A and B are shown apart, each in its own frame.
Chain A
């Protein structure tokens, strides 16, 4: 379990990246959602003991962040950007990481590396130099290194970026399987990554936690706020672009899906059942409106 208590992170130029974050993350796969700049990566880096919080603390399986070395021994981490020494082979690289994670038995190490290469679909490329890998392959190798040593906590920052749809599904499944009995903290701004696999989700926005709980509750945020209707082309331009979730052209005109408290004017719209993404966007929109009201 990860308990985050009153976590603040302020960078040098006064930018407040995390603002009193309090979260309790339980076993299983946990999604961390938020728009760009919400503070997801800062939170991940703090939990991965790469940077120090300005104040507050977090306990990972009961161990404080202050004992960074102990935390590092129990986590796997894949950052948003991932590069590896190009002259090594994939297997050599994983062997290096395995040793660093305390796997001293070379036979066990080889077996584990072989298993992971298979899991990330890199068996055939395992003995090729990393400089020959595609971006997706490198990403998979990154996941493999994070999974090495079966860490109790896996922190992955936008792991599916750059992967094709097939790889993405494979990836999600891999993480889901791995999350049994462990905590997998998955940061993303792609709701679909979370929708199918996560038991718990936290939404960060402007450094603060906007939501934490089950997916269904987040989804419920959109209840009564998601409208769908057909709008003529000339009226489409008059709609608030921030409220439009999606559009699809039909014979009658543009079928728009809009998030709003009230039915959009100038069109025949009806409420529809929200998706998780609708709930997430409704949550963010309500936050923005609160902000707008406050500034008013």
Chain B
């Protein structure tokens, strides 16, 4: 031990008395501190820090590679230092002390990475426990990367006593980091090889996000960390073995036994990681090879016909090892099932159905792939108003997407269960997955063809989760569980209740909620995005108060937003009045405007189906509402707006008209009309006109093209007959409320989302403004 200590001191002094080497951590610390201090409060500190580490940490591995080689070449396998080989000192001691001293040096970088992050995170008022776990994550990632890189460098130097080792070391560093990720892992989707990546902090990786980042990959990190540590030991053992083969020793048996043990340990340490990926790949390729999953080129784009489910009552419980057991109670109107001997539901294959019963009677069922067929002929419910099915199923969800991320998961309190994953039974036969045979890839079916959901009432009870859960449904506050048969006394429950037409997604994580009492909306996000959320909420509130002051029939289309910046396979979407913003990527980029636009005007998903602007000016009307905002609230001039200086996303239909769809530049013409009226002080009249059309509905939802065309024609017929009356009513009373009633009537007749023609606009304009102000 005395020798070990003295040798360590020698190696330590070689490094820590070197001014150049000691300058590097200082440089790193200054650079890192400067980088963190430059992060805007509106940016996510964790994500920004990860971005810094993924690049700079990888660069520091170059220093590791160099120092590892130098540590060996300093006195090992050098004729001038052969005297040291004559000392009664084992190579094991020499290698390990070199390694330990170098690791002590690189721990300075790791500590800086963790401590500086903690300091800056403290400034962000993040929960200490969370900050600690992020800091530990960075620290451990650094340490593991340094461990394996240093060991590799030392082995290379032992194997190659020539100076060419510097070149080989450089190549190993580049290959083991950037090249491996960009040209092997990502190009060929060989993410399993991430274990051999020298850096634990990949560039542009899904784990580089605060939300569902490293937390979801914790098993990867745990098992790869274990393997990499043991593998570093194997590299060092190999180095010692090689050196001992060059120099006589009486401990050859012990030497080979140690080397064998190191190999055995490395192989053993690989097993958990290998099994983890074997499971993922087998699940993925089972689906790709499954004939029931259609190829991307074969799937019909037409929305599936589904029967109605009036009510869902879902009880979801997380059991040990992230298992899920679900009891799904579905109330299906008997009418919807009339004449059917079996009903088909769609439930993800990750779940196994154990029992289906209706009114106490077990029903036969067949679960094949993602389809669940329930035979129910002859059951008495046929005669009732509705049929109730109780479906019991269980399973685990960790759905690898084949590209380093996940489609869905429930993992240690982190939850991502998108509705389109069919984690609860969906009506009808739907495509949960599609595949691309040519590229051997699997996608969620919703990426190609929208999943059809029933407009139903939902009650979702979730238990067994420690984290905060979030859905598009309102949560029942202060809900006791005493009256719930499935809850133990004192058990933590979250209950969500409401109606929805877009299905129900369930998300869980370290969420925080940001509210503004004057705004009927909230934002749920991650702790490091809180300031951004607060900023956006304030801005959103400003918009809201402006529009609420004059849009008479203002019915908020969204009531909350989720700012879920993540690298997982999730996309911006609106679900039952919840705006899920996944592409929040640092700083404020007009998200408040997007939220307000959605809240005020609803969806415009079907806008691409408008072929001729003259026949449907809804897009222009939506923009005109914002045009009025920019003119009145922001005080911008028409020219300023025309030149695209305002938020172009809201005004693009006006200032960048599509010459194919709008050859007459109606957008420009309408903007000029409104602009002129505003200049003439007729803002009240302009608002009246816009209110009129707003009351008619400016949402442009996505619909099946054939069906929507048909529906559009039928709706047009109804509209033609009723418009005159509606207009007359509106004209007579000049009350937009009546117009809304008329619209409600039409909605009741299935005439939602009707086109508004340019002639309608002209007519209304003329009605309000009089002939002299017409177009």
B163 within 8 A of A: no
Task: Indicate which residue in B80, B87, B247, B249 contacts A100 across the interface (CB closer than 8 Å).
Answer: B87
A203 CA to B82 CA, complexed, in Å? 24
Given A50-B82, A96-B10, A67-B250 contact (CB < 8 Å): yes
> Residue of A at shortest CB range from B248?
A68
Q: Judging by beta carbons under 8 Å apart, are B83 and A77 in contact?
A: yes
Q: Judging by beta carbons under 8 Å apart, are B251 and A69 in contact?
A: yes
Mark out the residues of chain B between 237 and 269 whose CB falls within 8 Å of any chain A CB in the assembled complex: 246-251
Cβ contacts under 8 Å, B79 to chain A: 79, 81
A85 within 8 A of B: yes
Mark out the residues of chain A between 66 and 80 whose CB falls within 8 Å of any chain B CB in the assembled complex: 66-70, 72-73, 75-79
A220 within 8 A of B: no
Task: Indicate which residue in B6, B13, B85, B249 contacts A99 across the interface (CB closer than 8 Å).
Answer: B6
Range class of the B interface residue count: 20 to 34
Query: In the assembled complex, how far is the CB of residue B747 from the closest CB belonging to chain A, in whole angstroms?
Result: 85
Q: Mark A87-130, 1 if CB is under 8 A from B, else 0.
A: 11000000011011110100000000000000000000000000
Q: Mark B48-72, 1 if CB is under 8 A from A, else 0.
A: 0000000000000000000000000
Cβ contacts under 8 Å, A79 to chain B: 79-80, 82-83, 86
A41 CA to B376 CA, complexed, in Å? 95
> Residue of B at shortest CB range from A155?
B86
Cβ contacts under 8 Å, B90 to chain A: 69
Mark out the residues of chain A between 15 and 66 whose CB falls within 8 Å of any chain B CB in the assembled complex: 45, 48-52, 65-66
Q: Judging by beta carbons under 8 Å apart, are B89 and A51 in contact?
A: no
A283 within 8 A of B: no
Query: In the assembled complex, how far is the CB of residue B507 from the closest CB belonging to chain A, in whole angstroms?
Result: 58
A83 within 8 A of B: yes
Q: Judging by beta carbons under 8 Å apart, are A69 and B82 in contact?
A: no
Task: Indicate which residue in A65, A78, A102, A142 contacts B88 across the interface (CB closer than 8 Å).
Answer: A102
Given A87-B14, A100-B88, A100-B89, A66-B248 contact (CB < 8 Å): yes
Cβ contacts under 8 Å, B10 to chain A: 85, 96
Cβ contacts under 8 Å, A51 to chain B: 246-248
Q: Mark B191-226, 1 if CB is under 8 A from A, else 0.
A: 000000000000000000000000000000000000
Query: In the assembled complex, how far is the CB of residue B192 from the closest CB belonging to chain A, in whole angstroms?
Result: 40
Cβ contacts under 8 Å, B13 to chain A: 87-88
A179 within 8 A of B: no
Cβ contacts under 8 Å, A76 to chain B: 86
Q: Judging by beta carbons under 8 Å apart, are A85 and B14 in contact?
A: yes
Cβ contacts under 8 Å, B251 to chain A: 69
> Residue of A at shortest CB range from B246?
A51
A160 within 8 A of B: no
B713 within 8 A of A: no
Query: In the assembled complex, how far is the CB of residue B253 from the closest CB belonging to chain A, in whole angstroms?
Result: 12
Cβ contacts under 8 Å, B250 to chain A: 66-70
> Residue of A at shortest CB range from B89?
A100
Q: Mark A134-163, 1 if CB is under 8 A from B, else 0.
A: 000000001001100000000100000000
Task: Indicate which residue in A50, A82, A87, A146 contacts B80 across the interface (CB closer than 8 Å).
Answer: A82
B2 within 8 A of A: yes
> Residue of B at shortest CB range from A142?
B83
Q: Mark B430-459, 1 if CB is under 8 A from A, else 0.
A: 000000000000000000000000000000
> Residue of A at shortest CB range from B78?
A83
How many chain A residues touch B (CB < 8 A): the figure is 36
Cβ contacts under 8 Å, B17 to chain A: 87
Q: Judging by beta carbons under 8 Å apart, are A75 and B86 in contact?
A: yes
Q: Judging by beta carbons under 8 Å apart, are B86 and A49 in contact?
A: yes
A97 CA to B88 CA, complexed, in Å? 10
A250 CA to B77 CA, complexed, in Å? 52
A68 CA to B90 CA, complexed, in Å? 11
A27 CA to B7 CA, complexed, in Å? 33
Query: In the assembled complex, how far is the CB of residue A284 from the closest CB belonging to chain B, in whole angstroms?
Result: 26
Q: Judging by beta carbons under 8 Å apart, are A83 and B86 in contact?
A: no
Q: Judging by beta carbons under 8 Å apart, are B87 and A50 in contact?
A: no
Given A68-B249, A81-B80, A50-B86 contact (CB < 8 Å): yes
A145 CA to B89 CA, complexed, in Å? 14
Query: In the assembled complex, how far is the CB of residue A100 from the closest CB belonging to chain B, in whole angstroms?
Result: 4
Q: Judging by beta carbons under 8 Å apart, are A96 and B14 in contact?
A: no
Task: Indicate which residue in A75, A77, A100 contacts B3 across the interface (CB closer than 8 Å).
Answer: A100
A142 CA to B86 CA, complexed, in Å? 12
B81 within 8 A of A: yes
Q: Judging by beta carbons under 8 Å apart, are A96 and B247 in contact?
A: no
Cβ contacts under 8 Å, B83 to chain A: 77-79, 82, 142, 145-146
Task: Indicate which residue in B3, B80, B86 contacts A48 across the interface (CB closer than 8 Å).
Answer: B86
A82 CA to B79 CA, complexed, in Å? 8
Q: Judging by beta carbons under 8 Å apart, are B88 and A73 in contact?
A: yes
> Residue of B at shortest CB range from A157?
B82
A99 CA to B4 CA, complexed, in Å? 10
Mark out the residues of chain B between 395 and 428 whose CB falls within 8 Å of any chain A CB in the assembled complex: none
Cβ contacts under 8 Å, A68 to chain B: 247-250
Cβ contacts under 8 Å, A88 to chain B: 13
Query: In the assembled complex, how far is the CB of residue B276 from the closest CB belonging to chain A, in whole angstroms?
Result: 43
> Residue of B at shortest CB range from A70?
B250
A45 CA to B81 CA, complexed, in Å? 13
A145 CA to B87 CA, complexed, in Å? 10
Q: Judging by beta carbons under 8 Å apart, are B82 and A81 in contact?
A: yes
Q: Judging by beta carbons under 8 Å apart, are A99 and B3 in contact?
A: yes
Cβ contacts under 8 Å, A81 to chain B: 79-80, 82
> Residue of B at shortest CB range from A45?
B82
> Residue of B at shortest CB range from A103?
B2
Cβ contacts under 8 Å, A82 to chain B: 80, 83
Cβ contacts under 8 Å, A99 to chain B: 2-3, 6
Cβ contacts under 8 Å, A78 to chain B: 83
A96 CA to B11 CA, complexed, in Å? 11
Cβ contacts under 8 Å, A100 to chain B: 3, 6-7, 87-89
Q: Judging by beta carbons under 8 Å apart, are B6 and A83 in contact?
A: no
In the A-B complex, list the 10 residue pairs whose CB atoms are closest, starting with the nearest: A77-B86, A83-B80, A68-B248, A99-B6, A72-B88, A79-B82, A100-B87, A73-B88, A81-B80, A52-B248
11 new A-B pairs (CB below 8 Å) besides A65-B248, A82-B80?
Answer: A48-B85, A67-B250, A68-B249, A69-B250, A75-B86, A79-B82, A82-B83, A85-B14, A97-B87, A100-B89, A142-B83
Q: What are 7 A-B contacts defined by CB distance under 8 Å? A: A45-B82, A68-B247, A73-B88, A76-B86, A82-B80, A100-B6, A100-B88
